[in-house]
Amino acid sequence: MIVRAATAQDIAGIVDLHKAANPYGDWYRNPFQRLGRTAYKDLTPLERFLHGGSWMDLSLCRRHVHEYQRRGFPVLVAEDGGHVVGECEVWLDEEPEPFGRYAEAEMVESGSPPNPDVERELLTRAAERVRKMGYAHFDLSPSHSGGETVAKGLGFRKMWDTRTFSAVLKDVPRPETEFAARYLGGEYGDLAGLLVLNHREPARFRYETLTALWPAERMAGVNDAQRLIAMAVDATGGRFAVFAVRRDWLDPAVAEVDVWIDSAALKDAARLGEAFSIAVEVARKLGTKRVTTYAPPSAAKTLRDLGFTGGDEPDPWLRRML
């Protein structure tokens, strides 16, 4: 087995890997509701995308891989016997503390069932490249990227934990304080200095995929299949940002909310409560009955005081020091 940079000729093999790992077991017009079972060839790019992302369609995957390579790190493939048996995509980012400057294995795929030997080799080779590029931190979010079975043996340790909370919108009290809000203009720079509390993936990657600015998602038409509200907020507790999205393919509809705030607010229950209360107020505009949001365990009491439940399932972000 060899690990090397992917070429255009490898894209079909990457797609085949992901198709083999299709979590829905079959192909549907809407896999979330298991509606409209049909042949893969009859699905639109968006319908294929819904089964697991840009890797499920050849044209989308080509654009996805090109964008990764344009950002400065080649997509790696593991080849064995002339066949692609694994792939690894590394994202380079820099965020407010506690994350700082890091590289993250955003995708580690080795088919179904996962092949630990392939994933171990991909992550080892990726770490070598990352170290040569001058990065001291190599990260992994195994619940979303893969690589969980080999992470501990390679020296990855937990540094962050994102929990999922949900609430019935009518049960969440409205904000008690005045605030001013303006629509964000689609520039990542507007979020400078703010930490995304939904840290299940890198901040910029989350921003681009949530807003459907990521080129493959734009090609798929994700922006036409969801409603997004992105707002910068000034409140008594300071500045923060809210992203609230309603995805048309989900039934019943849910408002999914991300809060971006400065790191100091994590230790200030009053500021945190104000931010989430206002974030829910923004989400009401999407017309759903339920809201889902994400935060570290330290925010659990604040969210439960607002009427949220959940937050029990760990979703770790791991780090390896190089």
| Dihedral over Cα of 129, 131, 132, 133: its sign | positive
> Is residue 23, in this structure, part of any structural domain at all?
yes
CATH number at residue 283: 3.40.630
Percent of the chain with pLDDT over 70: 100
Q: What is the chain's mean pLDDT, rounded?
A: 96
Provide mean pLDDT across the span 220-235: 96
Residue 29 has pLDDT above 90, yes or no: yes
Q: Which two tokens stand for residue 91?
A: 């994202």
- Phi (first) and psi of residue 84, to 5 degrees: -75, 120
Q: Are residues 39 and 123 in the same domain?
A: yes
pLDDT one-digit tens code per residue, 281-298: 999 999 999 999 999 999
> What's the structural domain count of the chain?
2
Whether 299 and 187 share a structural domain: yes
User: Where among 122, 155, 188 does a domain terminate?
Assistant: 155
Q: Is 32 helix (H, G, I), strand (E, B) or coil?
A: coil
Whether residues 23 and 123 fall in one domain: yes
Domain boundary pick from 112, 132, 155: 155
Same domain, 284 and 201: yes
pLDDT tens column, 152-211: 999 999 999 999 999 999 999 999 999 999 999 878 989 999 999 999 999 999 999 999
**Within a domain: 321:** no
Rounded to an integer, what is the distance from CA 175 to the centroid of its chain? 28
Phi, psi of 240 (to 5 degrees): -155, 180
The verdict on residue 320 lying in a domain is no
**pLDDT the model gives residue 185:** 82
> For 82, which DSSP code?
T
What is the per-residue pLDDT across 256-268, written as a single tens digit (0 to 9) for each? 999 999 999 999 9
Shared domain for 133 and 217, answered yes or no, is no
Structure tokens at 11: 């894209």
In a domain, 278, yes or no: yes
- Strands (E) located in the chain: 2-5, 28-30, 35-37, 76-80, 83-95, 100-109, 137-140, 157-161, 163-168, 179-183, 195-196, 226-235, 238-247, 254-261, 290-295, 309-310, 316-321
Residue 115 is part of a domain; what is its CATH number?
3.40.630.30
Residues 140, 175, single domain; the answer is no
Answer yes or no: do 123 and 174 share one domain: no
**Pair 135, 169 in one domain:** no
Q: Residues 44-74: pLDDT tens digits?
A: 999 999 999 999 999 999 999 999 999 889 9
Give the whole-angstrom CA distance, residue 115 versus residue 158. 22
The range of the structural domain enclosing residue 203 comes to 163-314
User: Does residue 28 sit in the same domain as residue 136?
Assistant: yes
Residue 93 lies in a domain: yes
Q: 8 lies in a domain?
A: yes
* Range 213-241 average pLDDT: 96
DSSP 74: P
Q: Are residues 130 and 218 in the same domain?
A: no
Q: Are 102 and 140 within 8 A, CB to CB?
A: no
pLDDT score, position 72? 84
**Residue 138 domain flag:** yes
* Domain membership flag for residue 322: no
Q: What pLDDT shows up at residue 186?
A: 78
Q: Which of 130, 155, 180 corresponds to the end of one domain?
A: 155
pTM of the model: 0.95
Q: Do both 229 and 259 map to the same domain?
A: yes
Longest Cα pair distance anywhere in the chain, in angstroms?
Answer: 64
Same-domain check for residues 151 and 177: no
